[in-house]
Structure 1
Amino acid sequence: MGTSATPDIETVVIGAGVIGLAIAAECAEAGQQTYVLERQAAIGQETSSRSSEVIHAGIYYPPGSLKARLCVEGKSLLYAYARDHGVAARRVGKLVVATSEAETAVLDVIAQRAKASGVDDLQWLGTSDVRKLEPAISSVKALLSPSTGIVDSHGLMQALASDIENRSGAIVLQTDVQNVIRRADGLFEIDMVSSGAPARITARNLIAAAGLGMTKLGPLLPREMRYLPPALQFARGHYFTYRGKSEFQHLIYPVPVEGGLGTHLTLDLEGNVRFGPDVEWIESIDYRFDDRHGSRTAEFERSIRRYWPGLPDGALSPGYTGIRPKIARGSAIAEDFAIHASTEHGIQRLVALYGIESPGLTSSLAIAKYCKALLDAN
């Protein structure tokens, strides 16, 4: 359904995490008057600011999936954007290590998927090769991903926010959407509470990229009766920091486990080491760091020592937690992004995003282009 009615705002994006900001920047660059509505008091306060800040290469995901396609495209876009906008990023490379012969079959699957998805820079390493790169790491075989890197996610979100505002867009904080209807004239009518006061605006285009908030927002969006929005599961991940001086030059990942990519070793841009995340299924948003009686510390130490036997006793400190919005419990790499447009829910000029977890940060700029194309197709 088209509309000749005049909206208050041409395009509204709900959610000011890295995905919502990237989408809004893409729409604003195309000349659309774009507003971002964010329920928190600052941008990027949920999933976007509680991650490993890794730029993934696109090696884990089923070929042809949105995760595979948008991660590979997004990686190149993100490195270029960081370079052009002064956002700190670095190609540090990653080792995916098998610590037993049984795990080498998983590396074979990863290598096959990577090649089918267009990632052609993986290198096979034997035990001695790994030792030359990372003397402290124990493995029987590994894959080196040289295009994996790290990025300042906060700097990235600030740059995207500046892009939006410099193109006459706006980010409206402390604004919680209460209801959305599709009016007879084709406009979206959005009821909200903004800084404690009720408000209402209309928009021609609507993109719902609320991350964890899609559990509440999804059922409020207009849809045909045949459609049900995906139900999201919350996976809390704990991160520990390392008290000692880093002796690592690369990111170190074990083979994937159910629900995640394993307790991996990552570096921040200052070279500090952190470990995580693990996977804990929770029923509601709760960022508490749960290490009762030191049991989580002990489990992390066991997992880390499988590939770094020399981890000193007492070297881990509780860091932070993040929550990933997953569409289903189970394998980290089987469930795809759900980016739904009129083909799925039957409503033109509405795009809703569900389950945008890893590699969402890497894919953010490619997701933005994908969503803009969906709007254009309507």
Structure 2
Amino acid sequence: MLDSEVVVVGAGVVGLAIAQRLARGGREVLVLEQEAWPGQHASSRNSEVIHAGIYYAPGSLKARLCREGRDLLYAWCAEYAVTHCQVGKLLVAVEPAELPALQALRSNAQANGVELQTLSAAELHAREPALRGVAGLFSPLTGIIDSHGLMGSYEAALQQAGGTLQCRTRVDRVDAIAGGFRLSGDSAGDAFTLSCRYLINAGGLFAQALAASVESMPEQQIPPLHLCQGQYFAYSGRSPFSHLVYPMPEANATGLGVHATLDLAGQLRFGPDVRYQQQLDYAMDESRRETFAQAVKRYWPDCQAEKLVPAYAGVRAKLSAAGEPAMDFLIQDHSSHAVPGLINLFGIESPGLTASLALAEEVATRFKSLYPI
């Protein structure tokens, strides 16, 4: 007899969203998380933005799941009292040379079913007097959210549906057995083994390592992981902005530029930047302060470098290397890797938080089709 029907490895925002969805659908679900509590990596080290779906390639999983997830997320927040605010976002062309990029973003958003409002320089200044820009776009569907509160609501929904979360539990090896898998590893300092029928790899930054530990998982089906750090600086003093502010994405860069976001307490922060690394590292580099200040001054001339305070860094689980085009979310089942009962999620970076409920629906739909009750 197997110990559990479904094991989800990874209690970040996506793993918890998937787990609660499967549990509410009648599955017996156990979530294993290697850290002391959920969401200690990308899920809590990000901009906490609910994205509208502007930037992603039309027809991609990112585009579809961001759009669907955005609507599901606003509805979830209203139903489960997760603190959020639909503050809206301004996309700013600082100089005339950036107008084609602004138009390209508008066209891409339209292709994704996202409507943006075109703003002249005067209209832009009327909304945010401190901004410098020749034109802009307004995204009314963009918001901010309490990521910890969201994960807490997912965990509560999981438990209410009979699911279980076990922290301080690291899976080191996965062996195929009759009718499922045997997992072994370390749980709070003690060796453990348990068996399950189905395994969902929602390990985020550690998804590739977990996939490599699965017996019979084809190595060529595990995409390379590219760690990409992004730093954030908070701004000391009152914020001049009431909306999020995003400059035009830098040419040949993998990020969206150093943008201005607000948390739910009104604290202004800037980031993230883009710095690829060889090892997982959350250390802040304070020498980047002046670089941040110069990037911000392009659209907010009054920014004072001395008021930029190191806040935190996050690391994205990218599938694309520096200089390569951004890659889509990758969700694998046995049709691609030939390991029955295993679903892998790779490259779940932004807009993963926004798309979390849509990703859960995507996995649940595949699960029901492949493994009906």
TM-score category of the 2 structures, normalised to the smaller one: over 0.9
Matching residue of 1:3: none
Q: Give 1:375 shift.
A: 1.4
Question: Does structure 2 conserve the Cα–Cα contact (< 8 Å) formed by 1:176 and 1:192?
Answer: yes
| 1:277 partnered with 2:269 | no
Q: Number of aligned pairs?
A: 368
Question: Does structure 1 conserve the Cα–Cα contact (< 8 Å) formed by 2:212 and 2:219?
Answer: no
Q: Give 1:335 shift.
A: 1.1
Q: Give 1:228 shift.
A: 2.4
CA distance in 2 between counterparts of 1:144 and 1:331 reads 29
CA distance in 1 between counterparts of 2:271 and 2:330 reads 25
| 1:364 partnered with 2:356 | yes
Among candidates 296, 314, 338, match of residue 304 of structure 1: 296
Give SS of 1:60's match: coil
CA distance in 1 between counterparts of 2:367 and 2:202 reads 14
Matching residue of 1:146: 140
Per mean C-alpha deviation after superposition, the further-off stretch among 253-262 and 46-55 is: 253-262
CA gap of 1:32–1:105, structure 2 versus 1, over 3 A, is: same
Give the letter aligned to residue 63 of structure 1: P
CA distance in 1 between counterparts of 2:62 and 2:353 reads 11
CA distance in 1 between counterparts of 2:52 and 2:335 reads 29
Using the size of structure 1 for normalisation, the TM-score is 0.95
Among candidates 232, 242, 254, match of residue 249 of structure 1: 242
Give the letter aligned to residue 131 of structure 2: I
> Structure 2 regions of 5+ residues with no counterpart?
none
Give the letter aligned to residue 213 of structure 1: F
| 1:199 partnered with 2:182 | no
Matching residue of 2:34: 39
Among candidates 208, 225, 250, match of residue 201 of structure 2: 208
Correspondence list, 1:121-200, <5 A = 121-183=115-177, 185-200=178-193
Question: Does structure 2 conserve the Cα–Cα contact (< 8 Å) formed by 1:227 and 1:344?
Answer: no
Question: Does structure 2 conserve the Cα–Cα contact (< 8 Å) formed by 1:97 and 1:142?
Answer: yes
CA offset digits 1:261-297 (Å, max 9, x no partner): 1100000011110000001111111111112xx3x10
Give the letter aligned to residue 57 of structure 1: A
Give SS of 1:179's match: strand
Per mean C-alpha deviation after superposition, the further-off stretch among 337-346 and 53-62 is: 337-346
Give SS of 1:188's match: strand
CA gap of 1:218–1:225, structure 2 versus 1, over 3 A, is: closer
Per mean C-alpha deviation after superposition, the further-off stretch among 255-264 and 215-224 is: 215-224
CA distance in 2 between counterparts of 1:135 and 1:268 reads 20
Using the size of structure 2 for normalisation, the TM-score is 0.96
Q: Which runs of 4+ in 1 moved over 3 A?
A: 222-227, 330-333
Q: Give 1:256 shift.
A: 1.6
Matching residue of 1:324: 316
CA distance in 2 between counterparts of 1:192 and 1:314 reads 47
Matching residue of 1:65: 60
CA distance in 2 between counterparts of 1:49 and 1:139 reads 31
Question: Does structure 1 conserve the Cα–Cα contact (< 8 Å) formed by 2:36 and 2:168?
Answer: yes
Superposition RMSD in Å: 1.4
| 1:117 partnered with 2:109 | no
Give the letter aligned to residue 248 of structure 1: F
CA offset digits 1:55-112 (Å, max 9, x no partner): 0000100111000000000000000001100100111000111112222212222111
